[in-house]
Structure formats: C-alpha cells, structure tokens
Amino acid sequence: MAKSSSPTPSASSLRRFLTLGTAAARIGGSLLGQRLFRGSSGMDWQPVGHLLAQVLGDMKGPVLKLGQMASQWQGVLPEPVAQALGSLQNRVPALPFVHLQSHLREVYGADLGQFFQHIEEKPFAAASLGQVHRAVALDGKALVLKIQYPGIKAICAADLRQVRRLLPLGRLFGVSAEQLENIYQELSDTIDRELDYAAELQSLQRQRSHFAAWEDLRLPEPREDLCRDGVLALTEEPGDCFAEVGEAAPAMRERLAMTLVRWLISQAFELGEVHADPHPGNFAFTPEGQLIVYDFGCTQYMAPSLLSAYVQTFLALQSGSAEALERGFQALGTRQPRSAIPWELYRQLQSIIGPLLQPGKYWDFARESLHEQAGPLIASAFTAQDSLQPAPATLLVNRTLEGHYWNLSRLAISLPLADLLETGIASRESPSS
C-alpha cells in the first residue's frame, strides 16, 4: 500500500551520497552520544528507526530495498529499528503520477488513450524500484500497471556504490563484517533481478503454466500486448491483505497454509525455481480461501546440487546426528575451511528443530514459537561465526524460508510440515518425475 507522496528521488550520485552521508552522520552522532551518557543498556533506538524509515522511503532505490530486507532480519537489529523499517514493507511514500507520465508516453506514445480507457493517478502500491497503478484496458479488463521509477537504473548503480562505502555503519548495530558483506551481495543480486521486467514476465509465465490446475492458487495474468520496457501490465487480482490473515476463520487459515507450503515445495522440487520475496505485501487471499501471489521480480533458481544439500540438511536435523548435520552444512557450503566444528550448536539446533521435523509431527505455528525457543542458540551462534557463514547461493533461500516462517506464524495453525516435505522429496526421486 502506498502512503502520502514523497519528493522525486534524485538520480544524482553526489546528491544521494550526501543524503546517505548526512543520515549516517546523524545516526552515528546520536548513537555515540547516547552510549557516552546512557550506556549501551539505555539506548533509545526509536529516533534512529524513524530517521532511517523517512530517509530510505523518500530515496527509493536500493537503499529502500535494503531497509525492507533489514526489517526481516529478526534478532539482528534493535526492535524499534526493525519495526520502523517494517513500515517500509507496505507503506512506501508514493511518487506523484506526473513524474511517471513522461516514461509512459515514451513507451506507449503521446496518446495513452489508444491503449487504456483509464489509468488511476493515485497508486495503490509503491515499492523500492517502482509503483503500481490500477488501469482499465480498451477491452474493459481491470489491470494493474507495475511501472519503474524514472531513472531507477542509474539510481541503483549509484546507490550500490554508496551502500558499499557506508557498510561499516552497520557495525554500530552489532552486525559483523561477514554479515554486512553477505547483505550487500544479496541486495545487489536482488536489485539486478527486480530491474529485469522481461525476466519477471517469463518467471510469472512459467509459474502460471506449471500451476494452472491449482484451484487454490491465483496468479496474475500478463497482458503481453500492453507490456513495455519498464512497464508490466497484469490482470488485477483483488484480495484481502495477507498481513491481516490472522483475523480469518481457522478453516480458511488452514487452507491457505496448506496451499502456501505445497506451492513452495512444488516450486523447489518440480519447477526448480522459487518465488523469493516472502513479505506479506506480496500475498493476499480471496473470501473463498484462494491464495493470491503477486510480484515475481525476485526468484531463486534451485540448482539440483543446492536442493540436494537442503534435503541432506533436513534429513540430518531429523536424524539427531551431529555428524550428519556437519555433512549437511558442508554440502550447503556454509562451513568455513580449517575452522572448528561447532558441535554444541549442532546439538542445540537438533534439540529445538529436530522434534518439529519428525514424520507425523504437526508443527503448531500458533504455540511453538521457534524464535522464542531459539534464545539459547544466540550465544552458540555468535561463538560459531568463524565456523559457519552462509554461502552466497543460500542467502536468498534462507531469507525466503525465514520470511515464510513468519507468514506461517501469522496463519497460526498446525501443519504436518515434515510429511509435506517428504512428499516433495519423494516426487523428485521418483523415476517418472
């Protein structure tokens, strides 16, 4: 959802650098002053979160995407900062339509009436790289137009350079250098994917073809005759906001949860590609209980070797064998060469997660709060930082899994998660698949 309009984001590298630099200086000065006068236990993070949300929301581009990503890093950032950045998931300041018209007229021609009966000037959704406007095609079909911001590619190139220069600021929040580098790489890869509307269109078409028979899943249909460079034209698929799904009836939440998990598993094991942007703004549901999925700009190819490594790690968590988990993390590429094996962390992981992944076990997402049980893991994970670091190929997958853990927590139902996963594994291993 869009909120009140923001100023046109500058495409000037110097101006954007100065904006980021000024914000960084204000945050750094505030944190330093608080630590001197209050100590680390008396830090007030609320003003920092508010400033970050305001600056990043107005700037758009990769820095806004970074803020949206950061809001999902549960436990990494202070809670007030994470909450403020979380507002950027579905309340991004919109850009006035007049700033998009020149691009629309460039790709469609001066007379937009030759293609559309109407385009709503007020966007109903705004994001880091573009915003979405409702429209009506000449044949009367209700559409949405996903339109990139003017000059966004130049903005992205400039921002990525500045973000790398300002990464050390993350150390003020207690984020390690390794985590910061991984965050930058994930940001860069995500931006490249989301700028490629042609690839997004192809991804959506693959999904629609593969899941055409699924009655519980609805995906927008592209209007290829109206798609242009920097503009995607899709059928409008209205639904209720997924962020409010907790208010739905238990039977509907169970149906939605089953559809969501089966869809994720089928993508990985059958399609070999996963929708990798799990924030709730990309999902909705109908009164009949159908799951609607939007925005296929961020997808992750699941190489057979990567998928096999995740399966191996899943089976190791089931088995209770620390040695098997060590082999699984080696297969994932997360184990650092010539480093100590974190046996204690392995045992803790298996004691917390292993019981939830047993055959026949229903994982109750309403009661079994894994993020609360994982408290004892923090110290062990910190100690194991030199031994375990996420491999680049796992970053987006891990973020997707984490995001859907929170989506399932919103649904607050019980699922036979291991049984569903084993069905996916069996379909992959079947000679007929």
- Specify the pTM: 0.77
pLDDT of 280 reads 86
Name the helix (H) or strand (E) containing 55: helix 46-59
pLDDT digits (tens, 9 = 90+) for 246-276: 999 999 999 999 999 999 999 999 999 999 9
Contacts of 410 (CB under 8 A, 6+ apart): 242, 243, 245, 246, 280
What pLDDT digit, counting tens, does each position of 327-356 carry? Answer: 999 999 988 888 889 898 899 889 989 999
Cα separation, 319 vs 297, whole angstroms: 36
* CA nearest neighbour of 261 among 243, 247, 274, 251: 274
Confidence of residue 402 (pLDDT cuts 50, 70, 90): confident
Read off the pLDDT band of 161 (50, 70, 90).
Answer: confident
Average pLDDT over residues 376-396: 73
pLDDT higher than 60, residue 131: yes
* Torsion region of 336: left, alpha or beta (phi above 0 gives left; psi -120 to 50 gives alpha): beta
Q: Give the pLDDT confidence score for residue 233 in this predicted structure.
A: 97
Confidence check: pLDDT of 284 > 80: yes
Q: Determine which of 204-218, 232-246, 330-344 has the lowest per-residue pLDDT on average.
A: 330-344
Task: Give me the chain's average pLDDT, please.
Answer: 80
